[in-house]
Amino acid sequence: MERAVAAYDPDNIFARILRDEIPSDRVYEDDEFVAFRDIAPSAPTHVLVIPRGEAPTGPQAFTTEDEAMLGRMTVTATRIARELGLEEGGYRLVLNNGADAGQTVFHVHMHILGGAPLGPVASTA
């Protein structure tokens, strides 16, 4: 059963951050991505990496045309994690897909989580 992909909302919070309408604590930016600290962190270090412009709404919207961008986003997140000192202790890279996974902003984004031992990947509690 195929799920419908939601249309991109150009007024989502990440689009507004990209337009500097909402402030963010940026730790990295280049021509393609912006990374900033999460305002409600789930770990001592919690950074979000988002692509600039109108991005897929989430993993369910990916097509083969997104492969190169996703690879670059992963490499960029890995570089940021290293620069934040997370490499030795370890870190987690996360993409959420849909409400049941905890996705609240429908502009694809990758979480970098680390800075302390992390709990289980998922819980039904």
Does 124 map to a domain? no
Does 6 map to a domain? no
Does 123 map to a domain? no
Predicted local confidence at residue 4, as pLDDT = 59
Does 26 map to a domain? yes
CATH number for the domain spanning 30: value is: 3.30.428.10
Does 39 map to a domain? yes
Predicted local confidence at residue 11, as pLDDT = 97
Taking a C-beta distance cutoff of 8 angstroms, is the pair 17, 109 a contact?
no
Place of tokens 């909402």: 22
Does 8 map to a domain? no
Q: Is position 46 annotated as part of the catalytic site?
A: no
Place of tokens 């930016």: 29
Predicted local confidence at residue 125, as pLDDT = 62
- CB within 8 Å of 58: residues ≥ 6 apart: 95, 96, 97, 98, 103, 106, 108
Predicted local confidence at residue 1, as pLDDT = 42
Predicted local confidence at residue 31, as pLDDT = 98
Does 4 map to a domain? no
Does 104 map to a domain? yes
Domain count, the chain: 1
Could you list the residue range(s) of the whole structural domain that residue 88 is in? 13-114
For the chain, residues with pLDDT lower than 70 are: 1-4, 124-125
